[in-house]
Amino acid sequence: MSTPSTETKSTTAFLVQAMIAFGISFAAICFGIVRLPLDMWQRGFLLMSMLFLVSSCFTLAKVVRDQHESSRVNHRIDEARMEKLIAEHDPFKIN
């Protein structure tokens, strides 16, 4: 017994929009850091902070995705066990 896939996939347009938004925001913050009237070490601090923030965002997104996928797998396993029990159950069988 197979169940239809309920996986939601992002459209190409959404993926492109997300990539463009990331690129624009990354370029804007870099431009802002370069144009600020600061010393080099202050710009370096802001740049390192920005890079750390971006890498932390990617890590957080991956962890949330992995946790969600893990819960879906556990839910599917529980459903399969329940379906097996229901399929094996015969209400007219006398013990």
Q: Domains in the chain: how many in total?
A: 1
Q: Which residue has the tokens 């890498």?
A: 55
**Which residues, 6 or more positions from 91, have their beta carbon under 8 angstroms from its beta carbon?**
none
pTM: 0.58
> pLDDT (tens digit, 9 = 90+) per residue, 5-41?
556 677 889 888 989 999 999 999 999 999 999 999 9
Residue 76 structural domain: 13-88
45 found inside a domain: yes
Closest CA relative to residue 58, chosen from 22, 10, 5: 22
> pLDDT (tens digit, 9 = 90+) per residue, 52-63?
999 999 999 899
